Structure 1
Amino acid sequence: MDLSFISQALGEIISPTTAAYALAALGLSIHFGYTGLLNFGQAGFMAVGGYFFAITSNTFGVPFFVGLLFSILGAVLFGLLLGIPTLRLRADYLSIVTIAAAEIIRLVAKTPELSWLTGGSAGMPSGSDSFQELNPIPVGLYELGPLTYTEEDLWTIIFAWVVVVLAMLLVWRLVRSPWGRVVKAIREDEDAVRSLGKNVFAYKMQVLILGGVLGGLGGMIFVLPRSVQPDNFGTQTTFFLWTIMLLGGAATVFGPIVGSMIFWMVIVATDGIVSLLVSENLLPITGVQGGQIRFILVGVALMLLVIFRPQGLFGKKSEVYFNA
C-alpha cells in the first residue's frame, strides 16, 4: 500500500505553488474582501506576470530582477487596460468582464500565430536559469522531516515565502492606513464615499492594480519551478483562488495564506486517497474519473463555505461583502 501521498501533501504546505496561490489570493482579498470588486479574472494577472517574466528572462536573457520588474509592469498595464473601461460597471457586470479578460489573455498566449513569442499551446521555458544563478545555497540534498529538497528547490521555496511575507506586511500596513479605511468604506457604500469628495474610481483603480501586481508576482513564482503553460491559467485557477480566499477569510491578510496551505494539502491528500482506493479496487471508478473527484470536492467545499461560514476561518461575518 503506497502512502507516499501523505508526505507529498505535507510538502504542499510550503511548496512554491502554495506560495504563488497565496499571493494571488491575497491580491483577490484586496479586490473583493476589502473593496468589494467582484474580480473573476485573477488568473489573467497570474498569466501576465508569468509570461512577462518568462519572455523577458528566457527569450531576451535579462537578469532575474529585470524580469521581476517586467512581471510587475505587465500586471500594472493589464490592470490599467482592464480597469479604465470597466471599474464603473456594477459588480455582476464587472465579474463577467474580468473572467472574459482572463480568458482572452490565455487564448492570446495559446494562439499559434504568437508561438514564436509565447510558445503557443506547447508553452515555453520559465527562464528560471537567471533566478537559480542567484542561489546562495550549496549544492546537495536537504532533508526537512520526511521531505528531501535539492538546493534549487530550497532556494525557490525560500524566495517564494519571503515574497509572501513581504506582501503580507505591505497589505497589513495599507489596510490599517487612511487609504485602507477609504477602500473599506467603498465596499460598504461607494455613494457615501463619493459624497465626501473622494475619487472612488481612482481608489478602485489603485486597488485593482495592487491586487493585480500580487497576482502577477504569484504567476511569476508559479512558473519558476516549471514551464509556462497557458492552460495553467484557465478559469479553474480563478475558482481555486476564490476557494482559497473564502476558506481563509475574504477581508483578512493572513487568511489567504493559511487557506492556500490547507487547500493544496487537501487537494494532494484527496488525490492520493482516491488513487489508493482505486488501485485497491475499493472504488468502482477508473483512475481518470478519480482525478476529477477533487474538482467535485472543491465545488462542494465552496458551496458549504458560502452557506455555513461565509467569513472563512479568520474573517468577521460583519465584513463579508456578499453577506451584507
Structure 2
Amino acid sequence: MDWGQILNNTASFMLSPETIGFMLAAIGLSIHFGYAGLLNFGMAGFMAIGAYSYAISILSFGLPWWVAILVSMVAAVVFAMILGIPTLRLRGDYLAIVTIAAAEIVRLLFQTQLFDRWTNSADGLGGYHTGFRGANPLPDGTYGLGPWTYNETGWWIRLFGLLLVAVAVVFTWLLMRSPWGRVLKGIREDEDAVRSLGKNVFLYKMQALIIGGVFGALGGVVIALPSAVIPQYYLPSLTFFVWTALLLGGAATILGPVLGAVLYWALMAFLAGVLPALANEGWLPLSSSQAGNARFIVAGVALMLLVAFRPQGILGNKKEMTFVK
C-alpha cells in the first residue's frame, strides 16, 4: 500500500475546486437550515442552476465570464422565489419533500432534449473556459508546495473560489450579527412568537432562501470552472453530501461549513485510496471498484454517528440546533 500517494491525494483534495464549491454550498445551507430552520433538501438544484446559467451565458449568448457569474446569481434568486412562494408556508417535513422534487425537476429539465440547443441534454456543456482563464493574473508555470502544486490555471481557479468563500463567510458573519440575523434566529426557534411581534416571517424566510441559494449557485459555478457541466452530477445525493459537510463542521456556525467541506472531501479522498488498496491486498472481500464505492457507506455510517452523538458538529453549539431540544 502506497501511503505516500494516498496521503498526497488526500491533502490535494482539501484544496480542490469541488471542496471549495462545497464550502459555498454548505454556507448557503447553513443559512437555510442552521439560521432559518428551513429543511432544504434541494441544494443540488441551486448548484445546477448556477453552473448551467454560467455555461449557457457564455456559450449561447457570448457574455463575459464575470457577467455570466452575475447571471447565475440572478437565476438563483429567480429559482428561490419560484420555489419559495408556494412552499415556505409549509411545515418543515413537507418543505423537505418539495425541495427534493424541485431539484430533480431542474436536473431533468437540463437533461431533456427539449432544451438541447442550450443544454446539450445528457451530454452536458464544456468549452466555456476561455474567458475565465484569459483573465488569469498569475504568471505561467507550475508552483506550490508538496501536494498543493498546480499550474497557473489551477491556482487561479482555487484562489478565485477561496475569494468567494471569504466574501461569503464575512457576509454571513455580518448578516447574523445584525438585527435581521437575530430575527431570523428567532424564527428558527419560534416563528409564532416572532410573528406576534409584527414581523413578516414569510418575507424573512424568503430572503434567507434567496441568500443561501445564491451561495449554492456560486458553489456550482466554482465546481464547473475547471471541468464540464453534466446533469448526472446534480443527483439528490449531491445535496446529502453537502448536508454531510455542513453537519460535520457545524450548522449555525460561521466557519463550520468551511471546515466540514474540507474534512468531508479529505475523508472521501483518503477512503478512495485506502479501501481499494485493502481490497487488492485481500484484506476486504470486495473488488477494487466495490471497495471504492464502499467509502459512501463509511461516510453514511459516520454521518449517523455524528447526528446521534454530536449533532451540533465540530464547531457547533448544541443550543443552536433546531432538532436538538
Q: Same fold (TM over 0.5)?
A: yes
For residue 323 of structure 2, give the secondary structure of its aligned residue in structure 1. Answer: helix
Deviation at 1:183, TM superposition (A): 0.3
5 Å-filtered alignment, 1:1-324, equals 1-3=1-3, 4-125=5-126, 127-324=128-325
Q: Matched residue pairs, number?
A: 324
For residue 292 of structure 1, give the secondary structure of its aligned residue in structure 2. Answer: helix
* In structure 2, C-alpha distance between the alignment counterparts of 1:267 and 1:146, rounded to whole Å: 16
Query: Do the aligned partners of 2:276 and 2:288 also contact (CA within 8 Å) in 1?
Result: yes
Deviation at 1:279, TM superposition (A): 2.2
Query: Do the aligned partners of 2:19 and 2:262 also contact (CA within 8 Å) in 1?
Result: yes
CA RMSD, aligned part only? Answer: 1.0
**Could you give the per-residue CA deviations for residues 2-36 of structure 1, whole angstroms, max 9, x where no partner exists?**
34221111011121111100100000000000010
Query: Do the aligned partners of 1:126 and 1:224 also contact (CA within 8 Å) in 2?
Result: no
- Tell me the amino acid that sits aligned with residue 101 of structure 1: A
Query: Do the aligned partners of 1:53 and 1:126 also contact (CA within 8 Å) in 2?
Result: no
- Tell me the amino acid that sits aligned with residue 64 of structure 1: W
* In structure 2, C-alpha distance between the alignment counterparts of 1:222 and 1:79, rounded to whole Å: 20
Comparing 139-148 with 77-86, which one deviates more in the overlay?
A: 139-148
* In structure 1, C-alpha distance between the alignment counterparts of 2:155 and 2:192, rounded to whole Å: 49
* In structure 2, C-alpha distance between the alignment counterparts of 1:172 and 1:139, rounded to whole Å: 36
Query: Do the aligned partners of 1:64 and 1:130 also contact (CA within 8 Å) in 2?
Result: yes
Structure 1 gap ranges (5+): none
Comparing 35-44 with 276-285, which one deviates more in the overlay?
A: 276-285
TM-score with structure 2 setting the length: 0.98
Deviation at 1:126, TM superposition (A): 5.9
**Could you give the per-residue CA deviations for residues 57-92 of structure 1, whole angstroms, max 9, x where no partner exists?**
123221111101101011000000000000000000
For residue 144 of structure 2, give the secondary structure of its aligned residue in structure 1. Answer: strand
* In structure 2, C-alpha distance between the alignment counterparts of 1:291 and 1:102, rounded to whole Å: 27
Query: Do the aligned partners of 1:126 and 1:228 also contact (CA within 8 Å) in 2?
Result: no
**Could you give the per-residue CA deviations for residues 163-189 of structure 1, whole angstroms, max 9, x where no partner exists?**
000100000000010000000000000
* In structure 2, C-alpha distance between the alignment counterparts of 1:140 and 1:191, rounded to whole Å: 58
Deviation at 1:147, TM superposition (A): 3.5
For residue 296 of structure 1, give the secondary structure of its aligned residue in structure 2. Answer: helix
Deviation at 1:278, TM superposition (A): 1.9
Deviation at 1:282, TM superposition (A): 2.4
Relative to structure 1, the CA distance from residue 41 to residue 146 in structure 2 (aligned partners, 3 Å threshold; closer, same or farther) is closer
**Could you give the per-residue CA deviations for residues 187-238 of structure 1, whole angstroms, max 9, x where no partner exists?**
0000000000000000000000000000000000010011001111111110
